[in-house]
Amino acid sequence: MDLGFSTIILKLEIFALLISLVYAVYYLSSRIIYLTRYVKWIIKPQRLKNIDIKKVQVKNTFDHKEYKEEVKKIWDKEKNQIRDLLKRIKLNKSRWEIEIARNLIIEALTIDKINRDVNIELASLYIDENDYKKAEFIYKDLLLVYPNDFDVLKKLWFVLSNQDKYELAIEVYKKAYSLNRNDMEIVNMLAYLFFTVWSFLESITYFKKYLKERPRDVESLISLSEVYKKIGDFKESVVTLKRALDINPYNEYIHKELKELETPEIVKNLENN
């Protein structure tokens, strides 16, 4: 019994020794491999180091030519994708396939969420649904990115006016007017907006600017005469209506207004002048 037990102990000790030797060989081998790789890394040609450094620079600087070229490729690809989606959006809208158009807009916005044209298409969908509030938010967000976008300003005015937000609409159109003083549509709309909020003197100013360029606009002449009537200047109201009558002599509304306004006192004042 004692001899058998001693044999077992001896075998276990030999097994443990073998395991220790195997681990020692594994450890030494791994260290040798590590040191070999380290030495190779230290003494490898400088050209290879430069290539590695170059790769890092390409990844981490916007000034590197290769990086710019790569970014340009990505941007060009996205532009082409959005251009294609916009064509499909407009086509589906023209066919009144609104849900398909809406899904395409969402797809385009996942590519570029601040794309001007895509957002304008989305706002137009909301306008078609009479959801002017959502369209207003879109135009306001666009103006944060494109603060001097003349067309977006005009579209924002439209949705504000449809919500009876005339004071805000005036501010928007004044900004648009500061960007383009030659757009007579804006001048005319400012005249009507000021008239709507009862700012009659400002309304007269813009009507005069508009009529200087478009002297034969009968509707604007009639509106200007109405503004004069609101402030009690009946003489100027009559003079303005007669200008409109010279252009459109068969306009029944003008004849009716003149009949009411041409009191003996006003006629006398006009004759004296």
Residue 67 Cα distances to 158, 183, 205, 260, angstroms: 43, 43, 55, 76
Computed from CA positions of residues 59, 61, 63, 68, in that sequence, does the dihedral angle turn out positive or negative? positive
pLDDT at 132: 92
CB 111 within 8 A of CB 78: yes
Residue 212: how many other CB atoms lie within 10 Å = 10
Helix/strand/coil for 164 = coil
Separation of alpha carbons 259 and 253, rounded Å:
10
pLDDT digits (tens, 9 = 90+) for 40-54: 444 444 433 443 444
Task: Tell me which of 27 and 261 has the higher pLDDT.
Answer: 261
pLDDT of residue 15: 64
pLDDT of residue 40: 46
pLDDT in tens, 1-12: 455 556 666 666
Task: Express as a percent the part of the chain with pLDDT over 90.
Answer: 28
What does the alpha-carbon distance between residue 97 and residue 183 come to, in Å, rounded to a whole number?
A: 35
> Model confidence over 84-124: pLDDT tens digits?
888 888 888 888 888 888 888 888 888 888 888 889 999 99
In whole angstroms, what is the distance from residue 223 CA to residue 191 CA?
9
Residue 140 CA, chain-centre distance (Å), reads 8
Tell me the Ramachandran region of residue 174: left when phi exceeds 0, alpha when psi lies from -120 to 50, beta otherwise. alpha
pLDDT cut 70: percent of the chain above it: 68
For residues 253 and 226, the answer to whether their CB atoms sit within 8 Å is: no
pTM: 0.56
* Residue type at position 222: I
The structural domains of the chain, ordered by start, are 187-273 (1.25.40.10)
